[in-house]
């Protein structure tokens, strides 16, 4: 077991043992935007035990051979066969990291391995379209994305444990929790 896998195994087990939440459903999810989306996908592939994952415009999941190096010797897409939980993906069609062609490749790999996933793509949205404090923000697309995350798809899979797993470690995962905390801090 490598260091990353050990860390996530410990987080998972600590969260599963913490019964201080009355609405605990015993499930753990992982989310991330941008490079956090990449790490979400990598973690869901390399550390079994998550119940759901949300990858939001994860850059560098699909990588060309010339992009691989000593620090990134394997493209995350090459781990798709090991994805251990359902995956929700949200992407802007105006994004170039990942580009629509890379999202197509990502989706084809998921289909090839028979994975449980759902991808949503948004016209008029580029990279970071959830970031309400930046020019890239697209309210309509972001609101639809939030509905996908906290609505039918993701809530049924594990929402209460997503939030609890982050509280336990004091970690803010870029994306959903980061946005929520950002709003709360500004108020």
Query: Among all residues, which ones are annotated catalytic?
Result: 34, 95, 127
- Which of 90, 91, 82 minimizes the C-alpha distance to 110? 82
Instruction: Look at the block and give the residue holding tokens 């170039």.
Output: 96
Q: What would the DSSP string read from start to end of 48-107?
A: TT-SEEEEES-TTSS--GGG--SS--S-GGGGGGG--S-EEEEEETT-STT-HHHHHHHH
119: DSSP letter: E
The C-alpha atoms of residue 130 and residue 143 are separated, in whole angstroms, by: 8
Q: What are the residues facing 31 on neighbouring strands?
A: 54
Instruction: Look at the block and give the residue holding tokens 């609505």.
Output: 151
């Amino acid at each position: 077991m490598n260091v990353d896998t050990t860390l996530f195994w410990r987080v998972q087990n600590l969260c599963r043992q913490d019964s201080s939440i009355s609405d605990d459903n015993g499930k753990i999810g992982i989310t991330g935007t941008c490079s956090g989306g990449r790490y979400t996908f990598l973690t869901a592939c390399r550390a079994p035990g998550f119940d759901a994952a949300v990858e939001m415009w994860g850059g560098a999941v699909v990588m060309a051979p010339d992009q691989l190096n000593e620090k990134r010797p394997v493209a995350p897409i090459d781990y798709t066969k090991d994805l251990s939980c359902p995956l929700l993906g949200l992407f802007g069609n105006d994004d170039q990291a990942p580009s629509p062609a890379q999202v197509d490749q990502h989706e084809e790999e998921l289909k090839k391995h028979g994975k449980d996933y759902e991808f949503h793509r948004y016209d008029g949205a580029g990279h970071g379209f959830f970031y309400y404090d930046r020019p890239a923000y697209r309210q309509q697309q972001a609101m639809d994305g939030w509905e996908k995350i906290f609505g039918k798809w993701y809530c049924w899979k594990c929402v209460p444990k997503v939030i609890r797993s982050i509280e336990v470690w004091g970690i803010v995962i870029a994306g959903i929790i980061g946005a929520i905390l950002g709003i709360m801090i500004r108020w």
